[in-house]
Structure formats: structure tokens, C-alpha cells
């Protein structure tokens, strides 16, 4: 994370149009990537849980959803800050990527509220289906700038990243750093689940 931040602030060149404000890009895009990754883990965990009824996969999905909602919230906040600088408004409602991303955040916030209702197996099954169906919005968010008219630029093209070499290398390092941060937070969240289960067993004894 230290290397990623140093590269974002010092190594990457200053963008001509937005100047130093563009550097939030190196935080905003990795936050989006990790959100998508986290919700994919929810999707995968839900499918495997429904097939095996193994609660470990359900706990993985729940843990990843919590971390994913955190990163998605930060993505929306950094996106709003960037939008204010780039477009003069905090939230241009007509943009399809912003709207579909807000829908994605609301879907998994609903998933978290559903999980908070009960710890029963029936709720776990319903939540698994909810998480699987909710993931369908992720490709919609990604392709929204191609399907509809959007003020968002297209960074990933068929030829790769549409960026200067130094900008691209900085983005890759930031993506790696935030992915490792996600993995670390997910691991600690799973350890909290195990600790909670152990406390419940002690309480029953």
C-alpha cells in the first residue's frame, strides 16, 4: 500500500486536463475492482453453499459481502469527489455507470440487512440466492459505458489499458495492493466468524 500510494502521488505523471485531482483514479478504480471481486466471491460462495449445504461457504459469502459493501461505499464516495472536480457536480444522475453502481450497492446492503434478520439455515439459503442474483448487476455496471451513452471514459479496451505507460504501471500496483488488502480483511473477517462460533459452543456447554 505504501508503494502504491507513493506511485500514485509521485511516480505517475500529472494528467493534463484535471491535473493532480486525477490521481484519485488510482484509488477509485482499485476500489471498484475489489468490490466486483468481493461480490463475485459472494456469488461463488452462494452457489457452492446451495450445492453442499456447507456453512463454511455461507460464512465466506457473508464475510466477503461485508468487505465488499465497505469497498463499494468508498468507491461511491471517491467517485463523487472525482465527479465534482471533473464534471462540476457531486452526482450526475443521468450517467448509467453511477446509477447501476448505486443499485449494486443497494442490492448488497439489502443482502446485509437480510443476514441481520436471523442466523437460521433458511435465511442462509435465501441470502445465497439473493447474493447470486445480485451479482448479475456487476457485468451491467462494467459494460454500462459501452451499452449506453456515458460521461465515464473507457479505460479497458480490446487492446488493453488506454493509459500512459507510467499510469498503467501505477494502476496495476494499486490494483495488486488493494486486492491484497481485501484478502487480508476477508481472512480476519472469517477468523471473527470462527471466534463467534467458538463462543457459541462455549456458551452452550
The whole model's pTM is what? 0.84
Determine the 3-state secondary structure of 161 from DSSP.
strand
**Nearest-angstrom CA–CA distance, 20 and 133:** 39
Alpha helices in 88-164 (DSSP H): 96-117, 121-134, 137-147
How high does pLDDT run on average in the chain? 85
End-to-end CA distance of the chain: 43
Share of the chain above pLDDT 90, in %: 37
101-110 tens-digit pLDDT: 899 999 999 9
How many other CB atoms are there within 10 angstroms of residue 187's CB atom?
11
pLDDT at 19: 75
106-152 tens-digit pLDDT: 999 999 888 887 655 568 888 888 899 999 989 888 777 676 666 56
Predicted confidence (pLDDT) at residue 158 exceeds the cutoff of 60: no
* Cell numbers linked to 106: 443497494
**Nearest-angstrom CA–CA distance, 68 and 36:** 8
Domain ranges of the chain: 25-152+164-204
State phi, psi for 49 to the nearest 5 degrees: -60, -45
72-99 tens-digit pLDDT: 999 999 988 887 877 777 777 777 788 8
pLDDT at 155: 61
Share of the chain above pLDDT 70, in %: 89
Amino acid at each position: 500500500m505504501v508503494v502504491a500510494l507513493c506511485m500514485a502521488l509521485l511516480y505517475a505523471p500529472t494528467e493534463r486536463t484535471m491535473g493532480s485531482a486525477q490521481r484519485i483514479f488510482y484509488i477509485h478504480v482499485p476500489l471498484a475492482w475489489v468490490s466486483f471481486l468481493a461480490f463475485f466471491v459472494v456469488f461463488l460462495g452462494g452457489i457452492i453453499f446451495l450445492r453442499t449445504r456447507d456453512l463454511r461457504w455461507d460464512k465466506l459469502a457473508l464475510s466477503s459481502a461485508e468487505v465488499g459493501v465497505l469497498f463499494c461505499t468508498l468507491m461511491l464516495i471517491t467517485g463523487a469527489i472525482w465527479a465534482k472536480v471533473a464534471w462540476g457536480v457531486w452526482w450526475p444522475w443521468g450517467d448509467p455507470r453511477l446509477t447501476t453502481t448505486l443499485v449494486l450497492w443497494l442490492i448488497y446492503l439489502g443482502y446485509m440487512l437480510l443476514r441481520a434478520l436471523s442466523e437460521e439455515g433458511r435465511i442462509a439459503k435465501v441470502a445465497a440466492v439473493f447474493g447470486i442474483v445480485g451479482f448479475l448487476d456487476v457485468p451491467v455496471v462494467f459494460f454500462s459505458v459501452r451499452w449506453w451513452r456515458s460521461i465515464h471514459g473507457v479505460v479497458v479496451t480490446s487492446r488493453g489499458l488506454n493509459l500512459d505507460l507510467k499510469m498503467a504501471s501505477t494502476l496495476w500496483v494499486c490494483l495488486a495492493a488493494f486486492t491484497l488488502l481485501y484478502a487480508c480483511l476477508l481472512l480476519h473477517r472469517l477468523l471473527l466468524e470462527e471466534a463467534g462460533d467458538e463462543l457459541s459452543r462455549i456458551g452452550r456447554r
